[in-house]
Amino acid sequence: MSREDPLKAEKDFSATLDEQLPLLEQLPDYKEALDKYLVLEKQIRQSSDLPSSKRIIGRIVDTLVDHADWEHLEELVTSLSKKHGQMKTAIQVMIQQVIKHLSKLKDSDEKQLKQKISLIETIRTITDKKIFVEVERAEVSRMLSDIYLAQGDLDKATEILCDLQVETYSMMPFDTKVEYILQQMALTLQKHDFAQAKVLSRKILLKTLQNFAKAEEYKATYLRYLLQINAYEKDYITSVKNSLLLMELPAVKDSADYKDLLISIVYTIILSPYDNYQSDLIHKIKANTVFSKNVSAKIFRLLEIFTTNEIIRWGQLEADYSDLFSQSPMFLENDENTKNLQKRVIEHNLRIISKYYSFIELKRVATLLQLDVADAETHISALVNLGMISGKINRPQGIVKFEKHGVASSGLSANNSEDMNELLNNWVYDIDKLLEEVDSIGHLINKEEMMYGIKQKL
């Protein structure tokens, strides 16, 4: 059973080791030397001499590795970790020494690979639920995951790596934690387990990805993973938000796919359902000279089309942009995006109609939308329910009555209506900021609880 490191050794074996180790190294039979090493290890362990214990255990591991006696090494690692009075740091050093030598077992050799997997599994068993060797357990688990991934067993690789709760490891550096979580996300995304990937993504806060060597690289990788999750969930507006953050990173600006990223932002913002936040973003993107300089004029014109108070003819839009849409993965590989684009055109047209008409025949609305009457009625009802427009349908007379927001209901002036829109925009921004702060606080509370739990166990 392991124990805490002693403050002071009962006896100092450093001089004994200085004398004995060179002599034992000269023995022709390494097994004879090993037996004598183990005798010394017991004496040192019973005397609580930690520095000497680390030396002798390291020599035992090196001797077995030098003679390729991996099976005996596996047995001794298990045995020494269970010895009565074995010090925690001595176990940690032993595990670290074994991990350092694992690279000598080649993955290309079937026998050596089998031995490597067995040794890794032994280390994982020894380190299970032991806080003082949690970093070493994570390291060998990643090795094992990589082996299974190379063999094509994605499920096993994902299971092993995602079992690690590295965010709770107090002794692991922050950047290493991020690296592990990103690798976990990569495997779950490769497995198309987007729900698990989203859960893992919440373990990283964007604002914490700074002030370390690979901060920008990890931030770019993290945002690209988020974009994959957003695309799967058809969360267009969040995708735009993450893309705008990604495009500001220096490494991304110099990459070959920078223009593709800008084009995807233009497509994604017009696919986003209309609200005050979407309206604010699309106007900001339209005013950003980066887009006008790097995106073709034809694609950039889409922003103009969707921000102008004019009816959009779906047939004409489809004909004008069919060549570009057929070249874009967003539309070529996803028919749902094309359907959503048509839906956004209808929603845009209904908002324009509601601005210019107080009363209009339902048949006329259907004609302007290039739909039949039933579909036009369905879309009007949907937008009224969503609060995008305010109106009522008189079915017997076949008339649609549109009400201006803030006028019919409360008698507010146009200026007051604009003030309300500004107020709502500020409210949306404040809510986003509040949620970020709540997320950050939750992360810090979780960290404090973990640290408190570790202290209690220690």
Question: What CATH number has the domain bearing residue 40?
Answer: 1.25.40
Q: What tokens appear for 278 in the block?
A: 């979407």
CA distance linking residue 437 with residue 15, whole number of Å: 58
What pLDDT was estimated at residue 454?
A: 66
Examine the fold and report which residue of 118, 140, 161 is the final residue of a domain before the chain moves on: 161
Residue 87 pairs in a beta bridge with 3
Does residue 422 have a pLDDT over 80?
Answer: no
pLDDT in tens, 30-83: 999 999 999 999 999 998 889 999 999 999 999 999 999 999 999 999 999 988
Average pLDDT over residues 209-235: 94
Q: What is the mean pLDDT of the chain?
A: 89
Looking at the fold, whether 3 and 150 belong to one and the same domain comes out as: yes
Query: pTM value?
Result: 0.82
Number of independent structural domains in the chain: 2
What pLDDT was estimated at residue 42?
A: 92
Q: Quote the percentage of the chain above a pLDDT of 90.
A: 65
Confidence of residue 406 (pLDDT cuts 50, 70, 90): very low
Residue 167 pairs in a beta bridge with none
Looking at the fold, whether 188 and 123 belong to one and the same domain comes out as: no
What pLDDT was estimated at residue 65?
A: 94
- CB–CB of 27/33 below 8 Å? yes
- CB–CB of 382/421 below 8 Å? no
Average pLDDT over residues 419-434: 70
| Domain interval for residue 65 | 1-161
Q: What tokens appear for 143 in the block?
A: 């090795």
Looking at the fold, whether 171 and 153 belong to one and the same domain comes out as: no
What pLDDT was estimated at residue 414?
A: 44
Looking at the fold, whether 82 and 154 belong to one and the same domain comes out as: yes
What pLDDT was estimated at residue 77?
A: 94
Confidence of residue 455 (pLDDT cuts 50, 70, 90): low
Confidence of residue 388 (pLDDT cuts 50, 70, 90): confident
What pLDDT was estimated at residue 2?
A: 63
Looking at the fold, whether 52 and 169 belong to one and the same domain comes out as: no
Looking at the fold, whether 147 and 11 belong to one and the same domain comes out as: yes
Confidence of residue 407 (pLDDT cuts 50, 70, 90): very low
User: Residue 134: exposed, middle, or buried by beta-carbon count in 10 A (0-12, 13-18, 19+)?
Assistant: buried
Alpha-carbon distances of 155 from 151, 192, 324, rounded to whole Å: 11, 11, 38
pLDDT in tens, 247-293: 999 989 888 889 999 999 999 999 999 988 999 999 999 999 999 99
- CB–CB of 361/290 below 8 Å? no
In a domain, 426, yes or no: no
Looking at the fold, whether 111 and 198 belong to one and the same domain comes out as: no
Sequence-distant (6+) residues with CB within 8 A of 347 are 273, 274, 379, 383, 388
Examine the fold and report which residue of 233, 260, 292 is the final residue of a domain before the chain moves on: 233
Looking at the fold, whether 155 and 47 belong to one and the same domain comes out as: yes
Confidence of residue 433 (pLDDT cuts 50, 70, 90): confident
Alpha-carbon distances of 102 from 58, 120, 365, 437, rounded to whole Å: 14, 9, 72, 43
What pLDDT was estimated at residue 153?
A: 95
What pLDDT was estimated at residue 411?
A: 37
Looking at the fold, whether 151 and 187 belong to one and the same domain comes out as: no
pLDDT in tens, 282-326: 999 999 999 999 999 999 999 999 999 999 999 899 899 988 988
What pLDDT was estimated at residue 456?
A: 62
Examine the fold and report which residue of 102, 134, 161 is the final residue of a domain before the chain moves on: 161
In a domain, 81, yes or no: yes
Looking at the fold, whether 69 and 96 belong to one and the same domain comes out as: yes
Looking at the fold, whether 130 and 80 belong to one and the same domain comes out as: yes
In a domain, 4, yes or no: yes
What pLDDT was estimated at residue 141?
A: 96
Looking at the fold, whether 109 and 12 belong to one and the same domain comes out as: yes
